[in-house]
Amino acid sequence: MKPRLLLHTCCAPCLLEPLDLWSGTFEVEVFFYNPNIQPAAEYERRSQTLRKFAEANSIVVHEPGYGPEHWTDAVGRISSADTDRCKECYILRLTRAAEFAGASAFEAFATTLAVSPYQNQESIAEAGEALSERTGIPFVYRDMTDRYRSSVEQSRALGLYRQNYCGCIPSMPQSRKNTR
């Protein structure tokens, strides 16, 4: 029997490559906790897209709820500096994933944030490792930005909804500059 991996997932398109990579080694279950996503309609659209994909592929999804106030509490006091805001956001989401993994007898946890070239991979790895040390649950990390283009192509072929910003309000103006 394969060890269980809780895979924090930001959206269905970013799930494709990590699922492909980790499902050979682990029994993967998805954890959709993203209180950063605004507005609520955007959160719901991403959640529904993920759930539809997961159901079609027999993937278990854990969704502890939306809770945008958690993001505001954790990140709202930070200036507009992307690096600090993003780092706190990673810590918030990965903390919840690590705690859930520990409480639910998972052998490890990981995140789909490792796929996006728009995310700070060093901060993600640092946050995951610190949480691993704190919780005793191994953080499985691999920079998968080299697989980003493939995830875009696959998600388009599958007709999955693709957003053009990470989810938080401060990232919306930047999304107009990026082509995803």
% of residues, the chain, pLDDT over 70 = 92
What is the reported pTM?
A: 0.92
Catalogue the long-range contacts made by 151-157 (C-beta closer than 8 Å, 24 or more residues apart): 151/13, 151/14, 151/16, 151/17, 151/115, 152/13, 152/180, 154/13, 154/16, 154/17, 155/12, 155/13, 155/16
**What is the pLDDT at residue 80?**
59
Geometric angle at alpha carbon 164, from 163 and 168, rounded to 5°: 90
Domains and CATH numbers, the chain: 4-175 (3.40.50.620)
Give the tokens for residue 120: 């700070």
Is the model more confident about 84 or about 29? 29
Judge whether residue 170 has pLDDT over 90: no
Give the span between the Cα atoms of 29 and 54, in whole angstroms: 10
Judge whether residue 79 has pLDDT over 90: no
Geometric angle at alpha carbon 89, from 176 and 8, rounded to 5°: 95
Average pLDDT (85-111) is 96
Average pLDDT (94-122) is 97
**What is the pLDDT at residue 35?**
97
Whether 172 and 165 have beta carbons less than 8 Å apart is answered as: yes
**What is the pLDDT at residue 180?**
43
Judge whether residue 13 has pLDDT over 50: yes
Average pLDDT (20-42) is 96
Catalogue the long-range contacts made by 52-61 (C-beta closer than 8 Å, 24 or more residues apart): 52/12, 53/12, 53/15, 53/158, 53/160, 54/12, 54/30, 59/19, 59/28, 59/29, 59/30, 60/29, 60/30, 61/29, 61/30, 61/31, 61/32
